Structure 1
Amino acid sequence: MIPDEKASVKSEGRREVTDIVSGKPDRMVSVRSVFGIDSDLTVPAFSERDDHVPEIDEAYRFNPEVTLAILAGFTRDRRVMVQGLHGTGKSTHIEQVAARLSWPCVRVNLDGHISRLDLVGRDAIVVRDDLQVTEFQMGIVPWALQRPVALIFDEYDAGRPDVMFVIQRILERDGKFTLLDQNRVIQPHPYFRMFATTNTIGLGNLNGLYHGTQVLNHAQMDRWNVVATLNYLPREEEIGIVLARVPELAGDSDRALIESMLSVAELTRKGFAAGDLSTLMSPRTVISWAENCQIFRDPAMAFRLTFLNKCDEAERPAVAEYFQRCFGRELDVERESRAAQY
Structure 2
Amino acid sequence: MTDIADLRPDRMLSVREVFGIDTELQVPAFSERDDHVPEVDAVYRFNPDVTLAILAGFMRDRRVMVQGLHGTGKSTHIEQVAARLNWPCVRLNLDGHISRLDLVGKDAVVLREGKQVTEFQEGIVPWSLQRPVALVFDEYDAGRPDVMFVIQRILEQGGKFTLMDQNRVLRPHPFFRLFATANTVGLGNLNGLYHGAQRLNHAQIDRWNIVASLNYLPADEEIAIVQARVPSLADEAGRQLVASMVAVADLTRKGFAAGDLSTLMSPRTVITWAENVEIFKNPALAFRLSFVNKCDDAERPLVAEYFQRCFDQELKESHQLSSGSHE
Distance in 2, matches of 1:60 and 1:112, equals: 31
2:70 counterpart of 1:86: yes
Name 1:4's counterpart in structure 2.
none
2:192 counterpart of 1:234: no
2:14 counterpart of 1:30: yes
Distance in 2, matches of 1:271 and 1:334, equals: 16
Question: Structure 2 matches for 1:121-132, cutoff 5 A?
Answer: 121-132=105-116
Instruction: Give the AA of the match of 2:140.
Output: Y
The correspondence for 1:314, drawn from 281, 298, 304, is 298
Distance in 2, matches of 1:316 and 1:136, equals: 51
The correspondence for 2:37, drawn from 53, 73, 86, is 53
8 Å CA contact 2:253–2:264 kept in 1: the answer is: yes
Q: CA RMSD, aligned part only?
A: 1.7
Instruction: Give the AA of the match of 1:309.
Output: N
Identical amino acids, percent of aligned pairs = 77
Name 1:286's counterpart in structure 2.
270
The correspondence for 1:71, drawn from 55, 60, 75, is 55
* Cα drift, residue 278 of structure 1: 3.5
* Cα drift, residue 334 of structure 1: 5.7
Gapped regions of structure 2 (runs ≥ 5) = 322-327
SS of the residue corresponding to residue 287 of structure 2 reads helix
The correspondence for 1:135, drawn from 119, 126, 139, is 119
* Cα drift, residue 276 of structure 1: 3.6
* Cα drift, residue 235 of structure 1: 0.9
8 Å CA contact 2:193–2:259 kept in 1: the answer is: no
* Cα drift, residue 285 of structure 1: 1.6
Name 2:184's counterpart in structure 1.
200
Instruction: Give the AA of the match of 1:52.
Output: H
Name 1:269's counterpart in structure 2.
253
SS of the residue corresponding to residue 227 of structure 1 reads strand
Q: Deviations over 1:177-206 (max 9, x none)?
A: 000011111011110000011112111212
Distance in 2, matches of 1:134 and 1:336, equals: 61
Question: Structure 2 matches for 1:244-263, cutoff 5 A?
Answer: 244-263=228-247
Distance in 2, matches of 1:336 and 1:108, equals: 41
SS of the residue corresponding to residue 66 of structure 2 reads strand
SS of the residue corresponding to residue 190 of structure 2 reads coil
Distance in 2, matches of 1:245 and 1:69, equals: 27
SS of the residue corresponding to residue 192 of structure 2 reads coil
* Cα drift, residue 228 of structure 1: 0.5
The correspondence for 1:176, drawn from 149, 155, 160, is 160
8 Å CA contact 1:209–1:279 kept in 2: the answer is: no
Distance in 2, matches of 1:123 and 1:313, equals: 47
Distance 1:127 1:280, change over 3 A: closer
- TM (normalized to structure 2)? 0.93
Q: How many residues align?
A: 321
SS of the residue corresponding to residue 68 of structure 1 reads helix
* Cα drift, residue 318 of structure 1: 2.7
* Cα drift, residue 216 of structure 1: 1.4
Distance in 1, matches of 2:91 and 2:244, equals: 35
Question: Structure 2 matches for 1:150-229, cutoff 5 A?
Answer: 150-229=134-213
The correspondence for 1:115, drawn from 82, 99, 124, is 99
Gapped regions of structure 1 (runs ≥ 5) = 1-15, 338-342
Distance 1:96 1:334, change over 3 A: closer
SS of the residue corresponding to residue 253 of structure 1 reads helix
SS of the residue corresponding to residue 39 of structure 1 reads coil
* Cα drift, residue 335 of structure 1: 7.1
Q: Deviations over 1:7-29 (max 9, x none)?
A: xxxxxxxxx8x754421111111
SS of the residue corresponding to residue 136 of structure 1 reads strand
Distance in 1, matches of 2:223 and 2:207, equals: 37
Distance in 1, matches of 2:65 and 2:283, equals: 37
Name 2:324's counterpart in structure 1.
none
8 Å CA contact 2:107–2:121 kept in 1: the answer is: yes
Q: Deviations over 1:38-84 (max 9, x none)?
A: 11111111111111111111011100000000000000000000111
SS of the residue corresponding to residue 25 of structure 1 reads coil
